[in-house]
Amino acid sequence: MTLEIVSLLPSLLNTNGDAENARVLLRRAEWAGIDARVSTVERAAELPSEPDLVVIGSGSDASLGEARLRLFDMLDELRRWGTDRVGVLAVGTGWELLSWGIEFASGEQLEGLGVLPGRAVPRVEGRVTGDLVITRKGARLVGFENHERDYVGAEASPLGRVVAGAGNGRGSAQEGVVTGTVIGTHLHGPVLAKNPTLADQMLTTAAERRGIEYQVGSAAVKVDDFAKGARNAVLRSLSLPED
């Protein structure tokens, strides 16, 4: 049995290296003794029949029109994955494309795919760029946010609560959105490299869905120490307690 990991539209949605979250999942699966592969998918015809994990990165606003067209051709699959417990991680504008829609500062709007609740709207304060720390299920996730839109309409299902940074904005003190096994977030990093516990949660669910057990491999220990050091460097810079 091979875990099928899909990286969607990396040619359009990889401005911050977030498509590499797929490689993080691949390596951690291999370190756990699970056979896995990454399929790079740019168009609907290239989709594997049954993916286990899907990663969507972030791109520039100039790429969103074309990215939406290509993702729209995959809409049936995107909706099915959400109901079939396929793990989907969408970052930045890749996440915005899965929402109800995107409103630009110019007044233009781009209809989203409606896979996730909420919509992206212009920030009143302008672009936010900096470190972002959130709490999720008692643990902290650390990353970098760089966005000029807030996210509204998904207050009932956030990824976590903001400790430092803007997150979804508009005074919500929340970051991201989760519906079932589909996650949207502003966290760049790539987020799974800096926060391997989130990667392990996704892999655990994917393995269970396939009827196998996921256990963190011994080869991950050294890498996880590096990730912890990177998180702690951010936490120290924000005068927050280290992990």
What does the alpha-carbon distance between residue 74 and residue 50 come to, in Å, rounded to a whole number?
Answer: 13
Take residue 39 and report the two structure tokens written for it: 């399929």
Binding residues for substrate: 127
Please, which residues have CB within 8 angstroms of residue 40's CB and are 6 or more apart in sequence? 7, 10, 46
∠ Cα 98 227 166 (to 5°): 45
- Upstream peptide bond of 190 is cis (omega within 30 degrees of 0): yes
Which of 202, 195, 160, 162 has the alpha carbon at shortest distance from 177? 160
Q: Does 186 participate in catalysis according to the annotation?
A: no
What does the alpha-carbon distance between residue 219 and residue 223 come to, in Å, rounded to a whole number?
Answer: 8
Binding residues: 127
What does the alpha-carbon distance between residue 199 and residue 220 come to, in Å, rounded to a whole number?
Answer: 12
Cβ atoms < 10 Å from Cβ of 15: 18
N-term to C-term CA, the chain: 36
How far CA 28 is from CA of 92, 158, 195, 220, 239, in Å, comes to: 23, 25, 12, 7, 31
Catalytic residue, from 28, 70, 188, 231: name it: 188
Active site residues: 188
